[in-house]
Amino acid sequence: MRNVECSAIEKALAAVVILFVGGCTTVAQVTSLSDQNCRHTFVDRMSSILVEQGEKQEVADKLAESTTTVLLTGSLGPRPFLVASPSGADYGFFVEQKSSDCLLRLFSRQKGFTRYRNNLTYIATRSLTGCMCAE
């Protein structure tokens, strides 16, 4: 992590950008997880994000499958959700609807006392092609 000195104007601009960008993102839920193609896509995309974050492929596949099952069986509504790995890492995800596309976004990761959160550009994003979502 690096230290960056900012002027008061730069800080004010950053705050405006954060408020503007943060205000535009809404959380959605995948409404077509019962469709086999959508379910496969969701599992595949989540697994690929977890592998990218350093999880082993078999662990990532199991986590993605179990998360999909929970999202499918529960009526949790549109909200961020947490995936806890046996590696000790916790991952924060949400689904965003962008026009007709559904996007799976990883916005936080925590392991031990180290936490990284990026809700502006996100840590990772995957398109859920073939899935439908709603806010």
For residue 88, tell me if it sits in a domain. yes
pLDDT at 100: 82
Tell me if 21 sits within 8 A of 130, measured CB to CB: no
Total domain count for the chain? 1
Distances (CA, A) of 49 to 12, 14, 75: 33, 28, 24
pLDDT at 64: 96
**HSE of 63 in the Cβ direction (CA atoms, 13 Å)?**
26
For residue 123, tell me if it sits in a domain. yes
For residue 102, tell me if it sits in a domain. yes
For 107-127, the pLDDT digits (tens) are 999 998 888 888 778 989 999
Tell me if 30 sits within 8 A of 43, measured CB to CB: no
For residue 16, tell me if it sits in a domain. no
For residue 48, tell me if it sits in a domain. yes
**Least confident span in 8-22, 63-77, 104-118:** 8-22
**Least confident span in 12-26, 51-65, 75-89:** 12-26
pLDDT band, very low/low/confident/very high, at 26 (cuts 50, 70, 90): confident
pLDDT band, very low/low/confident/very high, at 21 (cuts 50, 70, 90): very low
For residue 42, tell me if it sits in a domain. yes
For residue 17, tell me if it sits in a domain. no
Query: What is the rounded CA–CA span in Å between residue 49 and residue 112?
Result: 20
Q: pTM value? A: 0.77
For residue 55, tell me if it sits in a domain. yes
pLDDT band, very low/low/confident/very high, at 24 (cuts 50, 70, 90): low
Per-residue b or e along 53-85, where b marks 16 or more CB atoms closer than 10 Å to that residue's CB: bebeeeebbbbbeebbeebeeeeeebeebebeb
Domain that holds residue 119: 26-134
Distances (CA, A) of 18 to 2, 35, 125: 20, 36, 19
